[in-house]
Amino acid sequence: MVLGLVPPEEEKRIFAKLVGYYQQLYPGVKFAKQEKTLTRREVGEMYYTYCGEETEATALEKMRRINSAIGEGYSTPLIVLVKKKKLILLDGHRRARVAFAEGIGWPALLIVPGKDVKYGIEGMILGRIRDLYGK
């Protein structure tokens, strides 16, 4: 494992916390958990959310690490909220950008709500990955 990358076990802990968080924020909505490998097209169509403060230079360095680790089997899943058929990225922003840039699919842990409501994260959508980072 390349130093500084999120290990799969940590991402699964984050996933469990996020599911619990959504259950508390939206009582009465049941959230299913699914695992899926997204295609490159699905990664490109995914809605990219604000990922917090980070300089582009720092993001590029981390993405270089991810890119080099792919050959060693690195594939920590993304965490994605599914709203109808829309995929909203919650965690794994740099992994998603690398997967799209490299033209590969990527594993994802999906949070699938049992009913449609307006989620706060929707206000943080910056656009689709393909539109923001496409070639």
Domain count, the chain: 1
Q: Is residue 17 part of a domain?
A: no
pLDDT under 50 in the chain at which residues?
A: none
Q: Report the CATH number at residue 77.
A: 3.90.1530
pLDDT at 2: 54
Q: Is residue 28 part of a domain?
A: no
Q: Is residue 41 part of a domain?
A: yes
User: Do 66 and 98 meet the contact criterion of CB atoms below 8 Å apart?
Assistant: yes
* Residue ranges making up the domain that contains 76: 34-133
pLDDT at 3: 58
Q: Is residue 113 part of a domain?
A: yes
Which bin fits 64, alpha (ψ -120 to 50), beta or left (φ > 0)? Answer: alpha
pLDDT at 112: 97
Residue 55 forms beta bridges with which residues? none
CA distance 122 to 50: 10
Neighbours of 38 (CB within 10 A): 23
State the pTM of this model.
0.93
